[in-house]
A and B are shown apart, each in its own frame.
Chain A
Amino acid sequence: MKLRLSTILSLSAAAVAGFFLFQTSQNVQDAEGHLRNIQTALSKEQDSMRVLETEWDYLNRPDRLEDLAQQHLKMKAQSPASLVNDSSDLPETGAPALPKRKPEFQIRPAVAVVPPPPQADVKVESLQTDLPMPSPVNNNAPSNDMRQQFNTLLNDLVSQEPSSGGDGQ
């Protein structure tokens, strides 16, 4: 049977189309896998942020800070009477001892939002095509080194003052 040119052309067009379709589909699967990884990493990061924020507020309990300040600072709270006696020496308004609000409490983005540079269009293109996998962030526990350091620090603190922390009673 004699192959006609039209048949050859349409067959090869189909083959080329199939090849591109296959390639696109592979790319999409890759990208989806990539997206899934990033999202997993993101959610794990968010989880550990939640844990760390809680721990931060736990460690900054007023009673604990008070105990630590008493043990380490050798300072006393100023009595209002001593302020009154020479209040002319004071500036008009006293700054609060602690910042009144935690910075940016209302909006706390998961990732710091950086304002885009002036020629951002080109950069975004390159970002999306060939982004390397982010370094693994899924480990909730710190590395061995960090743990070691933290334990040493903790032991130092504990050996110096046995009652750090506690209920403030």
Chain B
Amino acid sequence: MSLPPLFRRPSTTLIGSRRSTLDVARGRLVFVGIVFALAYILVAARVMDLTLIQGELPRLARMTSPDQGVTNEPVIAVAKLRGDVVDRNGVLLARSLKTASLYADPALITDPDQVAKDLVRVLPDLKYGDVLQKLQRKTRFIWLRRNLAPQDQYAILNLGHPGLNFQDEAHRIYPQGPLTAHMVGFTDIDGHGLGGVERSFDDLLAMGNRPLQLTLDVRLQHIARRELKAAIREFSGIGGAAVIMDVNTGEILAAVSAPDFDPHNVTQKNSDSLFNRLTLGVYEMGSTFKIFSTAALLEIKNVGMGQTFDAREPIKIGRFSITDYHGQNRVLTIPEVMMYSSNIGAAKMAEMIGTQSFKNFLKDVGLMDTVQVELQERSRPLIPNPWREITTLTASYGHGIAVTPLQTVSAVASVINGGMLVHPTLVMDGTVNDSGKTKNTKRNAVRVVSEKTSHRMRQILRLVVSDGTAKSADIAGFQVGGKTGTAEKPGGHGGYDRKRLLSSFIGVFPMNKPQYVVMVMVDEPKGTKASYGYATAGWVAAPAVGKIITAMVPVLGLVPQDIDPEKDMAAQMRPYVKDKTGKQLVSVGVE
């Protein structure tokens, strides 16, 4: 070995038996040394493994991976908050907030009297005696107040009393209050969804990854709710519903059911207001069904507008008798049947279509099945079984078959928008993908009526508003079209109650290129002096829809168009129509 002298081992040369003993000892020492060295290397390797390979590297990889930035991964473990629900513009409809709940440890409180006094001063809704009694209990934990507002928590911290502590809890807040109550729904105190999308998307919201975006627009929602409530109040109704829907996509821009409730404070006492009349209530919708019988007639029988129906005599079948409300007592053309809302005419139309074809048509537009919408509060329509001939006749003007208002609206949208079937939807596309559920119901190309039939229906519905029963919904510049429906509700013993009505109006605009469908329905309206005692849809629901459309214009930035009367959608229908005195309605502007 030619090592430098500095590191050269000092050596003494031994000989004889001593030498062999020393060799053995040295060998043992080297062996023990190697064993220890191995042990240390093992420990060091394990330390490296635990700290670097299993500890730091995955964390670094997580932090640098693009989709999970620092903001998505709070290092301080917080309880996962339930996901937000927002409207189509990103306005919050529901959000879980961390709130502090106040509890006391009575063992640490020396002066319960003073503490109780201070607490009552900060939180005026607590009762002094109540708090004092709680603070004197022999326990180590007692809730004083759940879910404090931040400023209240601050005030209590400022008091500086020992023994008052806070625990973080999640509290569901609905900033819009009752505005979207039925659609967004509500949760119980543990954050489980019990209604609306809170219930139908419970699992998705519980994961809390990203907000659930609804198609609602709070501004339109407010307009619909305001006008619906005004109509209900004016005509002393017991409830009602209103919808604004995009006719081409089925997106629900506003959906209101009245009476509604405060989602923060749901009790079984107000179970009537929890009821969603739009999707859970089934009603005989009345004359709005004439839209479907007329469309079916045009589509299946391919008849001309001049086709007439004798409406001079009531139809008598057994003990039933079908009569007209706005009786004209003459032979009516198709546009006249719609315009004067003739039950006799509609029944004769249905007779001409035939039972099976009419049933098939109703099934095609989705009126025979449960409405497809992302809520669990849905009802099946009530369809008479067996379906008799008489049912065909009564169904043609919306009696004897009970459906949900929402599916009626979407069926009208399907007929009007050019003939493509739409399904109502409450959730924006592309937001539901975390749970693996994908929406497949939207924009599926199913044609229910031809382009031509759809165009004819637009002309007829425009005529109903410009000259017929719904003039109060005619908003200048938007060519509103629609159909009124005044149904009598079933009475106590088999028949119908003439006093208890269900007045609804379904309006579509602009008729030359439909964009929005607006529906207002008022349950059991009573006539007023201003309406000459009438509680029919033309007096109750049509003006409300008119007001809704008027208010929608500035919100959506719609541009009204000044249309020549000759180019109005109703103009081509007028030659087929006679006015109430039987005079031909040719010239426009007679009104």
B partners with A:
yes
- On A, residues with C-beta under 8 Å from B are 4-6, 39-40, 42-43, 46-48, 50-51, 53-55, 57-58, 60-63, 66, 77-81, 83-85, 87, 90, 92-98, 100-102, 105, 109-111, 140-141, 167-169
Can you list, as one digit per residue, whether each of B197-238 has a CB less than 8 Å from chain A (1) or not (0)?
000000000000000000000110111001001000000000
Please tell me the number of chain B residues within 8 Å of chain A, measured between CB atoms: 49
Contact A84 B97 (CB under 8 A): no
A58-B173, A92-B559 given; name 13 further pairs at CB < 8 Å: A6-B6, A40-B76, A43-B78, A54-B97, A57-B176, A63-B222, A77-B551, A80-B475, A83-B477, A83-B553, A94-B557, A97-B555, A111-B71
Tell me the smallest distance from the CB of A36 to a CB of chain B, in Å. 8
Contact A96 B556 (CB under 8 A): yes
Contact B554 A81 (CB under 8 A): no
**Which B residue sits closest to A106, measured CB to CB?**
B90
B134 at interface by CB-CB < 8 Å:
no
Contact B557 A43 (CB under 8 A): no
- On whether A102 and B90 interact (CB within 8 A), knowing A6-B6, A61-B175, the answer reads yes
B587 at interface by CB-CB < 8 Å:
no
Can you list, as one digit per residue, whether each of B146-179 has a CB less than 8 Å from chain A (1) or not (0)?
0000110110000000000000000001011111
Contact A6 B7 (CB under 8 A): yes
* Distance, CA A152 to CA B125, complexed state (A): 23
**Which A residue sits closest to B152, measured CB to CB?**
A141
Residues of A contacting B76 in the complex (Cβ-Cβ under 8 angstroms): 39-40, 43
Tell me the smallest distance from the CB of A28 to a CB of chain B, in Å. 12
Residues of B contacting A79 in the complex (Cβ-Cβ under 8 angstroms): 550
Contact A57 B92 (CB under 8 A): yes
Residues of B contacting A83 in the complex (Cβ-Cβ under 8 angstroms): 477, 553, 559-560
**Which A residue sits closest to B89, measured CB to CB?**
A101
Residues of A contacting B150 in the complex (Cβ-Cβ under 8 angstroms): 48, 51, 140-141
**Which B residue sits closest to A59, measured CB to CB?**
B175
Contact B176 A47 (CB under 8 A): no
Residues of A contacting B47 in the complex (Cβ-Cβ under 8 angstroms): none
**Interchain Cβ contacts under 8 Å between A and B, 27 examples:** A5-B6, A40-B76, A42-B74, A48-B150, A50-B95, A50-B98, A51-B97, A54-B92, A54-B175, A61-B175, A61-B176, A61-B222, A62-B218, A78-B554, A79-B550, A80-B477, A84-B476, A84-B477, A84-B562, A97-B555, A102-B90, A105-B86, A140-B154, A141-B150, A141-B153, A167-B178, A168-B222
- On whether A110 and B90 interact (CB within 8 A), knowing A6-B7, A81-B476, A96-B557, the answer reads no
Number of A-B contacts (CB under 8 A): 126
- On B, residues with C-beta under 8 Å from A are 6-7, 71, 74-76, 78, 86, 89-92, 95, 97-98, 150-151, 153-154, 173, 175-179, 218-219, 221-223, 226, 229, 475-478, 549-551, 553-562
Tell me the smallest distance from the CB of A43 to a CB of chain B, in Å. 5
Contact A54 B74 (CB under 8 A): no
Contact B477 A96 (CB under 8 A): no
**Which A residue sits closest to B155, measured CB to CB?**
A141
Contact B557 A95 (CB under 8 A): yes
Tell me the smallest distance from the CB of B246 to a CB of chain A, in Å. 14
Tell me the smallest distance from the CB of A42 to a CB of chain B, in Å. 8
Residues of A contacting B176 in the complex (Cβ-Cβ under 8 angstroms): 57-58, 61
Residues of A contacting B221 in the complex (Cβ-Cβ under 8 angstroms): 62
Contact A58 B175 (CB under 8 A): yes
* Distance, CA A77 to CA B218, complexed state (A): 18
Contact A62 B222 (CB under 8 A): yes
**Which A residue sits closest to B478, measured CB to CB?**
A80
- On whether A87 and B562 interact (CB within 8 A), knowing A53-B92, A109-B71, the answer reads yes
Most-contacted residue by chain B among A83, A90, A111 (CB, 10 A): A83
The 5 A-B residue pairs with the shortest CB-CB distance, nearest first, are A105-B90, A96-B557, A62-B222, A141-B154, A84-B477
Residues of A contacting B555 in the complex (Cβ-Cβ under 8 angstroms): 96-98
* Distance, CA A54 to CA B149, complexed state (A): 13
Contact A61 B179 (CB under 8 A): yes
B557 touches which of A53, A57, A81, A93 (Cβ 8 Å): A93
Tell me the smallest distance from the CB of A75 to a CB of chain B, in Å. 11
Residues of A contacting B74 in the complex (Cβ-Cβ under 8 angstroms): 39, 42-43, 46
Contact A57 B91 (CB under 8 A): yes
Residues of A contacting B477 in the complex (Cβ-Cβ under 8 angstroms): 80-81, 83-84, 87
Tell me the smallest distance from the CB of A145 to a CB of chain B, in Å. 15
Contact A167 B7 (CB under 8 A): no
* Distance, CA A46 to CA B75, complexed state (A): 13
Residues of A contacting B6 in the complex (Cβ-Cβ under 8 angstroms): 4-6
Residues of A contacting B175 in the complex (Cβ-Cβ under 8 angstroms): 54-55, 57-58, 61
Contact A87 B550 (CB under 8 A): no
**Which A residue sits closest to B154, measured CB to CB?**
A141
Residues of B contacting A141 in the complex (Cβ-Cβ under 8 angstroms): 150-151, 153-154
Contact B553 A54 (CB under 8 A): no
**Which B residue sits closest to A102, measured CB to CB?**
B90
**Which B residue sits closest to A48, measured CB to CB?**
B150
Tell me the smallest distance from the CB of B227 to a CB of chain A, in Å. 12
**Which A residue sits closest to B558, measured CB to CB?**
A94
* Distance, CA A17 to CA B38, complexed state (A): 23
* Distance, CA A78 to CA B95, complexed state (A): 35
* Distance, CA A167 to CA B151, complexed state (A): 23
Tell me the smallest distance from the CB of A64 to a CB of chain B, in Å. 10
Tell me the smallest distance from the CB of A106 to a CB of chain B, in Å. 8
* Distance, CA A33 to CA B219, complexed state (A): 47
Residues of A contacting B560 in the complex (Cβ-Cβ under 8 angstroms): 80, 83-84, 87
* Distance, CA A93 to CA B78, complexed state (A): 48
**Which B residue sits closest to A147, measured CB to CB?**
B151
Tell me the smallest distance from the CB of B220 to a CB of chain A, in Å. 9
Contact B97 A80 (CB under 8 A): no
Contact B556 A80 (CB under 8 A): no
Tell me the smallest distance from the CB of A9 to a CB of chain B, in Å. 9
Residues of B contacting A80 in the complex (Cβ-Cβ under 8 angstroms): 475-478, 549-550, 553, 560
* Distance, CA A87 to CA B223, complexed state (A): 25
Contact A97 B89 (CB under 8 A): no
